[in-house]
Chains A and B, each alone.
Chain A
Amino acid sequence: MKLRRIISICIPLLALTMTAGLCFGSAPLSLSQLWEAATGAGEESVGLILWQIRLPRVAAGVLAGIGMSTAGVLLQSVTANALASPNIIGINSGAGLAVILTLTAFPMAGGALPFAAFAGAFAAALVILLAADRIGGSRSGILLIGIAVTTLLNAVISFLSLLDEGVLAQYNHFTVGSLKGIRMDDLMIPAVIIVGAFGGSLAMSGRLGVLSVGDAAAAALGIRVKRLRIGALACAAACAAAVVSFAGLLGFVGLVVPHIARRLVGQQPGKMLPVSALMGAILVVLADLLGRTLFAPSELPVGIFMSLIGAPYFLILLCRRRQYAIVS
């Protein structure tokens, strides 16, 4: 399908999903109430629901979808492996370790968790970047380093979580991934990072596409392969770390959305990035909406809901097409 056609379908779909996300919830709002609240003319309680609860949540969903799917596209492009995603190459585990360390050392510092998650994710990405730089930035090398870092970090996380059951409960909440209770203020810095990294990714997407013909051919075409790969990895890490800081570990988006985008527009990162960003945003906002409305008054965190609907769909996708594990 042509890129413009997909985008022209995705944009109204995202607008529709966002509007639904703003309207539905424990206190449903009609479109007219929404309009009045948006223009400041409606009841104060409706305005509060819109500005303090629903809008931050929908905005968080959009940002999380863009950030994680962008990270997924970048990681899958630079490693030429369709299994690469932020939770597989250690970025999520870095965030997880930082959170559990914070919970263990400062049990009352719940407000510091997003910052800790960001720092942890970025530190893990930095370790991967430095190691990748040292071994020459080969695509399998990055993946193997990521797996080694993930294994090590997960071992430390398991050890720390065994020490304190209270910490374990809080950590589990973080790993599930949720958009509950997010404030607009929490999103400002992550939004700047995600938008910046997305722009950077788009700027390098043409050259990233050339990597699909292999490192030797790309180098012969004038690409600085190692520098490009490390630049893309840095953008992916920034996106994933920014999302983890406010939404927890939403790893699945980064894996499944690039797959769907690739089926629709092919393997070129320049086409995959905008399509993945839009589809990722739709998926997270929709999953969050369904998670909080289907079982109301109970709420299913977006991470769990996305895995419940996403994983079977992903399996169907894989079964429909053979040769899917490795891109090249």
Chain B
Amino acid sequence: MLSFHNLSVRLGQRQILEDISFSLRPHRLTALVGRNGSGKSTLLACVNQRIPYTGEILEGEKNLALLQPRERAKTVAILPQTIPAPNITAWEMACFGRNPYLDFTGRLTRKDKEAVAAALRDAGAESLSERYVDTLSGGEKQRAALAMILAQNTPIALLDEPTAHMDLSHEAAFLQMLTSLKQKKKKTFLVVLHDLTVAAQYADDFVVLDGGRLVFAGTKQECLDGEILEKTFSLKRYTVGEEGKIFFSAE
């Protein structure tokens, strides 16, 4: 499973991440939370090998930095925070997810096409197949993008604020979809989330960053019991109703 060992990132004089160590639990949805500028996106950029870092990121025994890009792309899928909306269909975009598996001709085999169709189905984007991505709404575009990374067929997927431009109902539907995929497809998700209330509702585990340092990594219950989120974000927690639904609000 994906694990981070003493990960540090320094850009110029600024220490962006410092000595981060934690592991993801398999088949769980882990919420990566932290204030703006706490290093969440930088952490994902390290997995993507887009910036230099010290320490190690391992998938099992394999060091991601030593893997060929195509091999890495078969292990971990990453959905960055912003994706342009190209003038291609959602089907074509989902096909990009098969890139690590294609030979030099770039032709999709029948197996690839089946994987793309399944990914579109799993992401609830089947009806969008023939539509152009630049004509889709924010929520639809994210579903097409999710189909792309699902087509990668990796055991682990990292998503950077995938619900940032969605309204509440689309956000709930999207995260519900991840929850169901985690169970059905045995996927492990690390999702950067801004809304702590939403994170508390859907995440199994929490990783909390503050100022580039790891504040907490563990289960949701441990996180809530230790009042980690309240302390880190200076928020107040409210529990509402018989179900004990949790809300966070500024004090």
Binding site for B on A (CB under 8 A): 80, 203, 205-207, 209-210, 212-214, 216-217, 219-224, 262, 266-268, 270, 327-328
Contacts and interface: CB of A to CB of B under 8 A. Distances in A.
Given A217-B78, A219-B48, A219-B50, A267 B86 contact: yes
Given A219-B48, A222-B69, A328-B84, A210 B100 contact: no
Given A210-B99, A219-B48, A267 B93 contact: no
B84 A80 contact: yes
B97 interface: yes
Contacts of A270: 106
A78 B96 CA distance: 16
B42 to A, nearest CB: 12
A124 B50 CA distance: 29
B82 interface: yes
A122 B92 CA distance: 34
B86 A221 contact: no
Nearest to A224: B69
A206 B50 contact: no
Given A207-B99, A266-B88, A268-B88, A221 B73 contact: yes
Contacts of A217: 78-80, 83, 145, 148
B99 A222 contact: yes
B97 to A, nearest CB: 7
A268 B96 contact: no
A209 B84 contact: no
A220 B148 CA distance: 11
Contact of B87 (A203, A223, A327): A327
B33 interface: no
A307 to B, nearest CB: 26
A222 B19 CA distance: 27
A222 B88 contact: no
Given A220-B76, A267-B86, 10 more contacts: A206-B102, A206-B106, A210-B96, A210-B99, A212-B84, A213-B148, A214-B82, A220-B73, A220-B77, A222-B70
A213 B93 contact: yes
Interface of B: 45, 48-50, 68-74, 76-80, 82-89, 92-93, 96-97, 99-100, 102, 104, 106, 132, 145, 148-149, 152
B78 A220 contact: yes
A222 B82 CA distance: 18
A140 to B, nearest CB: 13
Please indicate which of the listed interface residues A214, A219, A223, A262 has the most CB atoms of chain B within 10 Å of its own CB.
Answer: A219
A126 to B, nearest CB: 26
Contacts of A266: 87-89, 92, 132
A252 B45 CA distance: 39
Contacts of A220: 48, 73, 76-80, 149
B29 to A, nearest CB: 19
Contacts of B132: 266
A207 B99 CA distance: 8
Nearest to A220: B78
A221 B100 contact: yes
Contacts of B80: 214, 216-217, 220
Please indicate which of the listed interface residues A203, A210, A222, A268 has the most CB atoms of chain B within 10 Å of its own CB.
Answer: A222
Contact of A216 (B45, B92, B97, B100): B45
Contacts of B48: 216, 219-220
A220 B82 CA distance: 13
B83 A221 contact: no
A235 B87 CA distance: 23
A219 B76 CA distance: 11
Nearest to B45: A216
A209 B97 contact: no
A203 B106 CA distance: 8
A226 B99 CA distance: 17
